[in-house]
Amino acid sequence: MATITRENIAPLNDKLTVILTKEDYLPAVEKSIKSYAKTANIQGFRKGMVPAGLVRKMYGQGVLNEEVIKRVDAELNKYVSEEKLAILAQPIALEQKELNLDINSPEDYTFEFEIGLQPEFNVDLKNIDVTRYNVEITDKMLDEEIDRLQSRFGNYTTPESIENEDTIISATIAVDGDSEAPAATEAEADAPKPNDTAVNLKDIAKTQQKEFTGKKVGDTVTVQLDKAFKGEILDRVLTDLKLDKADKANGKKSATLTITKLGLLEKAPLEEAFFDQVYPGRELKEADAFRTAIKDDLTKYYGQQASSQIHDQIYHYLTEQVKLDMPEPFLKRWMMVSSDGKKSNVEIDAEYGTFTQQLQWALISSKL
């Protein structure tokens, strides 16, 4: 009968020694060999008529290895369960001398495992103070969501000229007479270096929009960058030009845009067909009913976000306030083994903090 002994080797770190006798695994080995004999397809023998001795010779060693491992695993799990050991992760097989598993000469075998034990701790919930946020759905939020849906379900067209402020202007853009740009030849010295960019007409400064209005594909427009574009739009255009947006002098440069494509997203009108696209089967007829449905959805969404935020507050409070001792050397060895040795010690050290925080939360959650 298999025996298991337990020895403490470090704080929250024990060694389990499993001694497996021949009587523990041989019956299972013989049973498996007989089962193989009934199903084996070996040339020269009818199925189910293969001699057990031949099956033993051909498959016995593999069957022995498999059954021994299965029995050791079963005994280990049984011991942990019966002893009510609260372990961390999984047992680690300790390195030992090579076992001489021989189907023709069965022996008693010894296996050693290392286990990590969960720390003892208490959780005091009395001092947890969290805030639940109730988000008020404003008219502005409703208008923005409806506008987003109108754009999502709208139609994309390609107008002949720029007339609408929502027109998307795709263009190549190049800085004019860039004296800082290196040139290979004299002819190239003043040549602009085109890059692709795209802006909406409404993204262009009001004072400059008239320069673009009415323009068609193939037309060019020359602007001073910081007069035509502001804020984030200017930063994006400078990035498209591969210019340093932190350098104010770059915004003073003149650039020429050559229009390559025009696009316009026509928003879906607030009518029943649009309502059916957003809420199929709801049969919403009026804009007010549609608006109410949107408000209900936003209320549910922010309610879920508020619940998640409460969970986040509790998580951070408990992981920061409840301090757990961990068997660090064991856990780092387990992390190495579970990665099949593919991670370096430096990687294990870098990941250890996050790993133990997740483990700590799992232990606290389990206790709660």
For 219, list phi and psi in degrees, rounded to 5. -75, 160
Average pLDDT value over all residues in the chain = 90
Mean pLDDT in residue range 212-217: 96
- Give the HSE-up count for residue 312: Cα atoms under 13 Å, Cβ half-sphere: 9
pLDDT of 308 over the 70 cut: yes
Average pLDDT rounded to a whole number, residues 272-292: 95
In the prediction, which pLDDT does 128 show?
87
pLDDT value, residue 327:
95
Q: Which two tokens stand for residue 103?
A: 């189907």
Give the Cα separation of 87 and 72 in Å (integer): 18
Distance CA 4, CA 183 (A): 80
Can you give the pLDDT at residue 86?
A: 94
SS3 275: helix
CA–CA gap between residue 217 and residue 195 (Å, rounded):
16
Alpha helix locations (H) across the chain? Answer: 22-39, 52-82, 139-152, 186-189, 206-212, 225-228, 231-240, 248-251, 272-278, 287-321, 328-338, 345-367
Average pLDDT over residues 82-103: 87
pLDDT tens-digit series, residues 236-247? 999 999 999 999
Say what the pLDDT of residue 193 is.
53
* CB distance 225 to 140 below 8 Å: no
Give the chain's length. Answer: 368
- Between 34 and 288, whose confidence is greater? 288
**The tokens 């040139």 sit on which residue?**
183
Which of the pair, 138 or 122, is modelled with greater confidence?
Answer: 138
What is the CA angle 247-253-255, rounded to 5?
130
Return d(Cα 217, Cα 168) in angstroms, integer: 12
- Whole-angstrom distance, CA of residue 43 vs CA of residue 274: 71
Percentage, residues of the chain above pLDDT 70: 94
Q: Are strands 87-93 and 13-20 parallel, antiparallel or unpaired?
A: unpaired
* pLDDT tens, position by position, 131-170: 999 999 999 999 999 999 999 999 999 999 999 999 999 9
**Of residues 179 and 54, which shows the higher confidence score?**
54
Residue 184 has pLDDT above 50, yes or no: no
pLDDT of residue 180 exceeding 80, the answer is: no
What is the pLDDT at residue 182? Answer: 41
> Is the predicted pLDDT of residue 183 greater than 50, yes or no?
no
Residue 260 has pLDDT above 50, yes or no: yes
CA angle 295, 296, 301 (to 5 degrees): 95
Burial of 131 by CB count in 10 Å (0-12 exposed, 13-18 middle, 19+ buried)?
exposed
Q: What is the mean pLDDT of residues 43-70?
A: 81
Name the DSSP letter for residue 216.
Answer: B
Q: Give the rounded distance of the alpha carbon of 327 from its chain centre.
A: 28
Percent helix, strand and coil across the chain, each to the nearest 5: 45, 20, 35
Whole-angstrom distance, CA of residue 89 vs CA of residue 114: 11
- State the Cα angle at 321 between 317 and 323, rounded to 5°: 135
Does the pLDDT of residue 188 top 90, yes or no?
no
pLDDT at residue 311 tops 50: yes
